[in-house]
């Protein structure tokens, strides 16, 4: 540490990072009487959490219970045990099951955070015992941004891909109604557009382009920040965490860079590392993640999560795990945008097929995103590099009816209105499949054969290779008006389209090993006193799996809550 560093005021708890887990820890610690400081290196708060869907996977939550939903800790344990397998960290997983519901109920009573249950959103592994067809994923309620007053411009903007037409906020429940074309979807969209238009005065007054209401992860972060403002908890932006201060074997503060100066900040009860993973660090990606890999495929904020907290923990001898894993998601590279866009739902829409450059399928397109990219890497290995990138292929009927990444359905946004610079980069177009195959360097005969099979499956309703649409999770994003299988339709009417898909991520999954109190551990099992790690700075409690929507933020917030209680001596 530089001798030039100055010491700033003392706190009880310093929280590094300003994602949802970090701010949950800060709200909790403040409510429990601790003097808290949140530091964030970016010029805006919220991290990836602000761009996310904001879903949290909370077994036995009170919202589902209120609807009469049936869940139990043993059922959730059975499901997680079946998902994670023998490597399950039983004390941590059991603690998660015990505390997650308590965390969200407490947060709703003691802050501005508000959730509702997405009771139709199935767990991701519906074939496993203990899974539920809905009820464990919670979806943030809309949040009125005017509550943030002067702090609004410092909130990281929501992803365009998360909003209707790139600008109108909608909840995950509303997005699902539209995507599955459930009853009333058109009216709902007209009403939402009208509501947005009629609110022009607020946008004029504030100079904001964004919807006054925000949704999903942006609503979660905004409501947490508003709750910190209510409690006068400071959040320092443009403050880069550099290293930990350790005295007599205990972490008691951090060194930060702020305004070009190094400062030491002391924290009597400890430090919570919530600075995300390392997905934005090319060297660490090369060191730990499977190859090929690229920062540009990640959907997280450019330059944010570069692994500083991971390296600081390693320097103090912390143990690490799962460093070769990410929360994978296939992604599109959109010309002119600073980060890739995740492809979460569209793969399940009927009539889109994904192939490698042999023209062959290698995965159930509707599979959960982590499994999709895991299959991409496996196939890439098997075929000697033919699956990264892969290509999603669809026809003009699909194009008319459904969105694919930033391409809104052509009934709303015809090709003539698509950005010119997208052609032959984001998407390719040709009158015949053979021509399309030659444009993207895919084997034409392989593609013809695959499309032939898909068209047959669309007729019978049974995907004989990958069972697409064979479970409730796949069908969640299918088109409820399409039969016999809402995830299958023929690819038959030109022109045809192809879009390259990368092996993207929504953050890394590995990190510092922690115990059920969120304390960082050394390889011998001893804890580093005063040091907590949560979110993607810690190795995921979910192992190598993604059991349901909200499987990253749910644990980040729950272990943030636990770390704060622990620091306050109330765990």
Binding site for ligand FAD (CB under 6 A): 16-19, 21-22, 39-42, 47-49, 51-55, 159, 217, 240-241, 274-276, 299-300, 304-305, 308, 327, 342, 506-507, 535-536, 549-554, 556
Least distance to ligand FAD, CB of residue 461, Å: 30
Nearer to ligand FAD, 227 or 300 (CB): 300
Smaller CB distance to ligand FAD: residue 331 or 387? Answer: 331
Nearer CB in complex with ligand FAD: 17/389: 17
To the nearest whole angstrom, how small is the minimum distance from the Cβ of residue 566 to ligand FAD?
18
Peptide bond into 143 cis (omega under 30): no
> Looking at the DSSP assignment, which residues form a beta bridge with residue 143?
214
Q: What are phi and psi of 525, to 5 degrees?
A: 90, -10
Min separation Cβ 152 and ligand FAD, Å: 17
Provide DSSP, 405-455: TTB--TTTS-GGGS-GGGBTTTBEEESSHHHHHHHHT--HHHHHHHHHHHH
The answer to whether residues 109 and 134 touch, using CB atoms and an 8 Å cutoff, is no
* CA distances (Å), origin 26, targets 15, 75, 379, 382: 7, 31, 43, 46
- Shortest spacing between CB 542 and ligand FAD, in angstroms: 10
Least CB distance to ligand FAD at residue 25 (A): 10
CB 25 within 8 A of CB 105: no
Nearer to ligand FAD, 233 or 440 (CB): 233
Cβ–Cβ < 8 Å for 42, 304: yes
- The residue ranges of DSSP E strands in 298-385, in sequence order, are 320-321, 326-328, 331-332, 341-342, 353-355
Helix (H) or strand (E) holding 393: strand 390-394
CA-based max dimension of the chain: 73
Cβ proximity to ligand FAD, 26 vs 304, nearer residue: 304
* CB nearer to ligand FAD: pick between 19 and 359: 19
Q: Residue 533 in contact with residue 322, Cβ under 8 Å?
A: no
**Nearest CB to ligand FAD, comparing residues 342 and 446:** 342
Q: Give the N- to C-terminal CA distance of the chain in Å, as an integer.
A: 33
- Smallest distance, Å, CB 55 to ligand FAD? 3
Shortest separation between residue 213's beta carbon and ligand FAD, angstroms: 18
Closest distance to ligand FAD from the beta carbon of 539 (Å): 12
Which CB atom, from 48 or from 396, has the smaller least distance to ligand FAD? 48
CA 486 to chain centroid: 25
With vertex at residue 272, the alpha carbon angle to CA 270 and CA 276, rounded to the nearest 5 degrees, is 160
Contact 158, 216 (CB under 8 A): yes
Measured from the CB atom, is 42 or 403 closer to ligand FAD? 42
Hey, what are 380's tokens? 């890439």
CB within 8 Å of 11: residues ≥ 6 apart: 34, 35, 36, 37, 265, 266, 267, 268
Query: Smallest distance from the beta carbon of 163 to ligand FAD, in angstroms?
Result: 11
Minimum gap (Å) between residue 470 Cβ and ligand FAD: 24
Q: Which is nearer to ligand FAD, 95 or 396 (CB)?
A: 95
């Amino acid at each position: 540490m530089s001798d030039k560093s100055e010491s700033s005021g003392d706190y009880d708890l310093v929280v590094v990072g300003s994602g949802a887990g970090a701010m949950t820890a800060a709200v909790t610690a403040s409510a429990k009487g601790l003097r808290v400081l949140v530091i964030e290196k970016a010029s805006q708060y919220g991290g990836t959490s602000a761009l996310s869907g904001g879903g949290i996977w909370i077994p036995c939550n009170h919202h589902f219970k209120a609807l009469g939903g049936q869940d139990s800790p043993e059922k959730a344990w059975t499901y997680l045990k079946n998902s994670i397998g023998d490597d399950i960290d039983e004390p941590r997983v059991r603690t998660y099951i015990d505390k997650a519901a308590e965390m969200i109920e407490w947060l709703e009573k003691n802050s501005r955070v508000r959730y509702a249950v997405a009771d139709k959103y199935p767990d991701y592994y519906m074939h496993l015992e203990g899974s539920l067809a809905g009820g464990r994923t919670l979806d943030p309620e809309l949040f009125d941004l005017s509550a943030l007053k002067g702090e609004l411009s410092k909130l990281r903007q929501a992803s365009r891909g998360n909003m209707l037409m790139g600008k109108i906020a909608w909840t995950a429940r509303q997005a699902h109604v539209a995507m599955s074309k459930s009853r009333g979807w058109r009216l709902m969209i007209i009403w939402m557009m009208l509501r947005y238009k009629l609110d022009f005065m607020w946008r004029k007054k504030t100079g904001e382009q964004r919807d006054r209401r925000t949704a999903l992860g942006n609503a979660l972060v905004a409501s947490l920040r508003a709750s910190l403002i209510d409690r006068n908890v400071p959040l320092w932006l443009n403050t880069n965490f550099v290293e930990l201060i350790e005295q007599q074997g205990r972490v008691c503060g951090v060194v930060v860079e702020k305004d070009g100066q190094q400062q030491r900040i002391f924290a009597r009860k400890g430090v919570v590392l919530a600075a995300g993973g390392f997905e934005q660090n090319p060297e660490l990606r090369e060191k730990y993640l499977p190859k090929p890999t690229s920062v540009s495929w990640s959907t997280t904020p450019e330059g944010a999560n570069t692994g500083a907290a991971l390296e600081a923990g390693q320097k103090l001898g912390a143990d690490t795990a799962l460093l070769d894993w990410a929360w994978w998601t296939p992604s599109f590279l959109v010309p002119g945008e600073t980060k890739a866009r995740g492809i979460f739902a569209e793969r399940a829409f009927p009539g889109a097929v994904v192939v490698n450059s042999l023209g062959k399928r290698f995965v159930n397109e509707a599979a959960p995103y982590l499994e999709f990219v895991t299959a991409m890497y496996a196939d890439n290995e098997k075929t000697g590099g033919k699956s990264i990138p892969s290509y999603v292929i669809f026809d003009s009927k699909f194009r008319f009816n459904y969105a694919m990444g930033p391409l809104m359905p052509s009934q709303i946004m015809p090709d003539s209105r698509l950005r010119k610079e997208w052609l032959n980069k984001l998407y390719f177009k040709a009158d015949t499949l053979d021509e399309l195959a030659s444009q993207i360097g895919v084997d034409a005969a392989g593609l013809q054969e695959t499309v032939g099979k898909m068209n047959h499956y669309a007729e019978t309703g049974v995907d004989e290779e990958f069972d697409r649409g064979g479970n409730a999770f796949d069908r969640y994003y299918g088109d409820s008006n399409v039969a016999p299988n809402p995830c299958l339709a023929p690819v038959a009417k030109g022109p045809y389209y192809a879009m390259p898909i990368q092996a993207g991520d929504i953050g890394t999954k590995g990190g510092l090993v922690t115990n059920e109190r969120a304390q960082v551990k050394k390889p011998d099992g001893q804890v580093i006193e005063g040091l907590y790690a949560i979110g993607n700075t810690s190795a995921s409690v979910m192992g190598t799996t993604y059991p349901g929507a909200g499987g990253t933020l749910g644990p980040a917030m729950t272990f943030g809550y636990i770390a704060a209680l622990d620091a306050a001596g109330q765990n």
